[in-house]
Amino acid sequence: MNYASPWNRGRLSAWDVLDGERRLSLASEGTTGEGEGVTVERTYRRRTVEDLSLRLVVLEAVESKTFEFEFRDVELP
Amino acid sequence: MHESLFLELMFGGLLPLCPSLADRAAQAQGKTRIAPASNGVEIEEIHVVRRVALDAVKEADLTNMQLGLWFSADWEAKNGRSPPLIHLQELSAVEDDTGRVLSTERRLKQIEPLRGEVRGNTWKNAGGKQGPVVSLLLDAPARGAGRIKSVKGKAQVTLTKPVSLTFNDLAAVDGKILDHPDMKNLAALKLRFSTEEKDGRVSAKLSAR
């Protein structure tokens, strides 16, 4: 799932619900869009959220470049 | 200039990589150059598709053109496992030489990098340069067209590193915009997390708006 633009969601690379260090296995997963937003819902065979944790992997910028480009009279194949 | 010496000098950094030399290098390697590079950007591919298909629905996208752009540079840092982010900040109208506009409003709406940062999934490394390739899906040119008049725009490419963040108390973040002391700008992503316990199952939702 690419949490794409225009909400900088491209920066959310992954998320998981953990029990200790172990990822919970999924019972189901669904995605819904609403306007320009998106919600990912995951269900797990588990009675309570107690002792569970959430782990995100977020992309942090390390280097950025801006490219301005212009091509003219490009031959078509 | 002898071909091997030319390549050695160029890739050894002893010759500036101006467009004419780069063109000659591509030719020397027996490779195609579609157009001279523009400030590090190369046209990586033009792929025109014209199809007919039995039983295709009316809305099927059978005729189009993929325009690949390679944003090449000398990057200081490149984490091979972390995807780059690409934001196409500007794109002028793309038009063929018959006057047909290929970047129609419908096509522009579907080009995600025009709306903000998206993760790149194609990375090209060639000729001592490297960078992401972005493919733009546009209308196909007219049958009689021979050239694209202009492809002009501006893009920001950001290299990244992955940062792992853990929230140990789910109740404390339930229904809230996520924030974390290890990443000061996380709240700006406006990620809302919530959980629900129902019928012997736990449901976790992560929303971005």
Sign (positive or negative) of CA dihedral B36, B41, B44, B45: negative
Give the pLDDT confidence score for residue B26 in this predicted structure. Answer: 54
| A26 neighbors A70 (Cβ within 8 angstroms) | no
My answer on whether B132 and B181 are in the same domain is: no
Return the pLDDT at B13. Answer: 33
Regarding whether B47 and B150 lie in a shared domain, the answer is yes
> Which pLDDT does position B147 carry in this prediction?
97
Q: Are residues B136 and B193 in the same domain?
A: no
- In angstroms, what separates the C-alpha of A25 from chain B's closest C-alpha? 12
Residues B114, B198: one domain?
A: no
- B143 inside domain: yes
Which pLDDT does position B88 carry in this prediction?
95
Give the range of the structural domain holding residue B183, as residue numbers without chain letter.
170-208
Residue A72 pLDDT level (bands cut at 50, 70, 90): very high
Question: Can you state the angle between helices B19-28 and B3-11, rounded to 10 degrees?
Answer: 130
Tell me, yes or no, whether B49 and B127 share the same domain: yes
What ipTM goes with this model? 0.82
Predicted confidence at residue B79, as pLDDT, reads 59
Q: Does A51 touch chain B (CB under 8 A)?
A: no
Q: Is B198 exposed, middle or buried (0-12, 13-18, 19+ CB in 10 A)?
A: exposed
CA-angle at B189, arms to B183 and B194, nearest 5°: 95
Q: Which of B96, B170, B178 sits opposite A49 (nearest CB)?
A: B170
For residue A70, the enclosing domain spans 1-77
Nearest residue to B113 via CA among B67, B60, B166: B67
Band (pLDDT 50/70/90 cuts) for residue B175 is: very high
Residues B14 and B104 in one domain: no
Rounded distance between C-alpha atoms, residue B119 and residue B136, angstroms: 14
Return the residue of B nearest to A43 by Cα: B203
The yes-or-no verdict on residue A62 having pLDDT over 80 is yes
Return d(Cα B40, Cα A45) in angstroms, integer: 51
Same domain, B195 and B121: no
User: Residue B6's pLDDT band (boundaries 50, 70, 90)?
Assistant: very low
Tokens of B36: 């001279």
**pLDDT at residue B117, as a whole number:** 86
User: Best residue in B170, B173, B179 to probe A by mutation, most A CBs within 10 Å?
Assistant: B170
Q: Is B29 left (phi over 0), alpha (psi -120 to 50) or beta?
A: alpha
The average pLDDT across B166-184 equals 93
From the CA of B6, how many Å to the nearest CA of chain A?
26
pLDDT of the residue at B81: 74
Query: CA A17 to CA B127: how far, in whole Å?
Result: 43
For residue B8, the SS3 value is: helix
Mean per-residue pLDDT of chain B: 85
Rounded to whole angstroms, how far apart are CA atoms B158 and B192? 24
Which among B155, B22, B136 is positioned nearest to B87, based on CA atoms? B155
Q: Whole-angstrom Cα distance, residue B45 to residue B142?
A: 18
User: What is the total count of domains within chain A?
Assistant: 1
Structure confidence at residue A76 as a pLDDT band (50, 70, 90): very high
How many Å lie between the alpha carbon of B195 and the closest alpha carbon of chain A? 8
Nearest to B205 among A11, A12, A39 (CB): A39
Number of domains in chain B: 3
What pLDDT does residue B166 have?
97
- For residue A12, what pLDDT is reported? 87
- The residue written with tokens 């997390």 in the block is B193
Mean pLDDT of A49-68: 93
Q: Do B191 and A77 touch (CB under 8 A)?
A: no
- Same-domain check for residues B129 and B185: no
Average pLDDT value for residue range B116-135: 90
